[in-house]
Amino acid sequence: MDSLLSAPDAPDAHDPQSAQGAQSAPSLGGDAFSAIAPGTTYLNTASVGLPPTRTAEALRLAIDDWAAGRPSFPRYEAAVGAARASFARLLATSVERVAIGSTVSGIVGKIAVQLPPGSEVLVADGDFSSLVNPFAARKDLALRIAPLAELAGAVRPGTALVAVSAAQSADGRLADLPAIRAAAAAHGARTLIDASQAAGWLPLCADDFDYLVCGAFKWLLGPHGVSFLTVRPGAEDGLSPAFAGGYAGEDPWGECYGPITDLAASARQFDTSPAFLDFVATAESLALIEELGVDAIHAHDVALAARFRAGVSALGHTPIPARPGGGGADGSAIVAVPALPGVAADRLAGAGIQVSARAGNLRFSFHVYNSSADVDRALDVLGGM
């Protein structure tokens, strides 16, 4: 597996060719993604990540065994345990604080239904619906929306919960998490962070927040059907126990019928039954993320995004700043370019370059299977328009 070379220097934003002439960077994942089709440049991890080859192989084997009448529950359980432990390490928390689920909205709903009537929930304008709508659906809550750049300043006495994505889906902007955490602590509010667009490339510590939720099918390179929740000690009362099923018991297989008399003492008490085949795949993907290291992935992804950001700026376009207001030194692995001609997406797709259109932006996202050559290929297409 290739190791990360020194990060490429940021190209001169005034010279379109300098973006392609800067020091090149290979993909970080190397041959771990050998199944990617030749001629494909995949810059759409913000929609769905690509599985490592070993992930796809593990899933195929599990499906074959299932079809042959050999489902292996010991293997399934081992995969759930391995994925839970990997996620805990990646998010710098303990495995006892990690619960599993299927969807982000389903997990957020457990928090939304537990809030007392009249509770104020503060969210960022334009944040992803899976994080926002469970609160909006409760008409007896006071949902308040503020611009992302003003979120920390909008926390006030009486705010019960601040819910925000670490990185915005629409444009990759990064929330000022330290400021939000400090403001919430000053006013006695709890914090809920959606790390679906961040975990896997952005270093995070789950224990900094009361709750952190994450779908595994983007930057963690897993399939749909796996999500994680971390719960800080003392915040357990903010989650409804009404959704506990058999898997939330201290002995899941020994207490499958009737009321659960002994819920797990750890965050497993908030588990929902796992989609076992999805966890077989996720465990393999998370193991690779651990092997590569989030710090190395962060350096790699952000350097590629910076290369693209400078190159597209040199072509006369203005990408959205990684941080609201343009402040802060750290960049995002997601670059959103507003007002690109509608034909741009078609031209890119015709050249085998996959990106996505979101909220009036053309969104490019860079991850471990990308290299500087992928950046330059996209810039070539955009420059030829």
> Tell me, what CATH number does 309's domain have?
3.90.1150.10
**117 and 31 in one domain?**
no
**184 and 84 in one domain?**
yes
Exposure string for 133-161, b = 16+ CB within 10 A, e = fewer? bbbeebeebbbeebebbebbebbeeebbb
**213 and 98 in one domain?**
yes
Rounded Cα distance between 130 and 352, Å, is 30
> Tell me, what CATH number does 99's domain have?
3.40.640.10
Q: How many domains does the chain have?
A: 2
**160 and 304 in one domain?**
no
**285 and 353 in one domain?**
no
Please report, for the chain, how many H helices and E strands are present, in that order: 11, 12
**78 and 201 in one domain?**
yes
Count Cβ atoms within 10 A of the Cβ of residue 383 and give its class: 0-12 exposed, 13-18 middle, 19 or more buried.
Answer: middle
Question: What three-state secondary structure class fits 310?
Answer: helix
User: In the listed set 251, 267, 290, which residue is the last one of a domain according to the structure?
Assistant: 290
**312 and 206 in one domain?**
no
Residue 127 domain-assigned (yes or no): yes
User: In the listed set 239, 268, 290, which residue is the last one of a domain according to the structure?
Assistant: 290
- DSSP code string of 65-134: HHHTT---HHHHHHHHHHHHHHHHHHTTS-GGGEEEES-HHHHHHHHHTTSPTT-EEEEETT--HHHHHH
pTM of structure: 0.92
**204 and 87 in one domain?**
yes
Lookup: tokens for 140: 């007896």
Rounded Cα distance between 113 and 12, Å, is 51
* C-alpha torsion angle, residues 97, 100, 104, 107 (rounded to 10): -70
**34 and 158 in one domain?**
no
Residues with Cβ within 8 Å of residue 268, at least 6 apart in sequence: 99, 247, 248
Along the 385 residues of the chain, how does pLDDT read in single tens digits? 222 222 333 333 334 344 444 467 799 999 999 999 999 999 999 999 999 999 999 999 999 999 999 999 999 999 999 999 999 999 999 999 999 999 999 999 999 999 999 999 999 999 999 999 999 999 999 999 999 999 999 999 999 999 999 999 999 999 999 999 999 999 999 999 999 999 999 999 999 999 999 999 999 999 999 999 999 999 999 999 888 888 999 998 888 888 998 999 999 999 999 999 999 999 999 999 999 999 999 999 999 999 999 999 999 999 999 987 554 446 999 999 998 877 899 999 999 999 999 999 999 999 999 999 999 999 999 999 8
pLDDT for res 325:
52
Does residue 166 contact residue 193 with C-beta atoms inside 8 Å? yes
Question: What three-state secondary structure class fits 264?
Answer: coil
Nearest to 103 by CA among 222, 268, 246: 222
Mutual angle of helices 294-314 and 372-383, in 10-degree steps: 20
**347 and 302 in one domain?**
yes
**286 and 302 in one domain?**
no
Q: Could you list the residue range(s) of the whole structural domain that residue 306 is in?
A: 18-52+293-383
Rounded Cα distance between 131 and 194, Å, is 7
Residue 357 domain-assigned (yes or no): yes
Residue 11 domain-assigned (yes or no): no
**122 and 235 in one domain?**
yes
Q: Other CB atoms closer than 10 Å to residue 379's CB: what's the count?
A: 22
User: In the listed set 229, 258, 290, which residue is the last one of a domain according to the structure?
Assistant: 290
